[in-house]
Amino acid sequence: MPPQTEATTLVVVGCDAFGRELRLAPEAAAAWVALREAAEADGVRLLALSGFRSVARQREIVGRKLAAGIPWPEILRVSACPGHSEHHTGCAIDLGSPACEHLAETFEGTREFRWLGAHASRFGFALSYPRNNASGVTYEPWHWRWSAPGPKPESAGIPI
């Protein structure tokens, strides 16, 4: 997977499903809020599971897996190498449903996933790791990345 630039400006967009502060890059944050509100208007409840993740936090996650004896190739199928996670950019968000286990392939069978498939692109979000993706990453129906449809507008964020 290619290197990812760590975001330096983030905004808080509430809490994730675990009660942790959810931070995203300013443009991704605005798109997430609009996406979530549109889903709610359609009676769909998207759960935010994870947003921005620093390179240091990714090192901790990978280090914990290595310490548990998980082989490096297996780790890389489900976790990006520090410095290579889309979460570093502040533009990736993991989403879930109240109807299934978090961060599981079963998410693809939910109403929330179907709604995302039909509407996420209107808000600039796309599924990063579909089945048989070029990165070789395990299929992650919960992992969505925002990208601007053109030049990114200026935005006032909260420096971190």
Q: Give the domain ranges of the chain.
A: 9-54+86-159
Return the structure tokens found at 134: 């070029």
Q: Do β-strands 140-146 and 92-96 pair in parallel, antiparallel, or remain unpaired?
A: antiparallel
DSSP 3-state of 95: strand
Architecture of the domain spanning 9-54+86-159: 2-Layer Sandwich (3.30)
Full-model pTM? 0.90
List residues bridging with 112 in a β-sheet.
none
Mean pLDDT by 10-residue block, N- to C-terminus, for the chain (160 residues)?
95 97 98 98 98 98 97 91 97 98 97 98 96 90 87 38
| 138 vs 36: CA distance, rounded Å | 25
Return the structure tokens found at 129: 């790791």
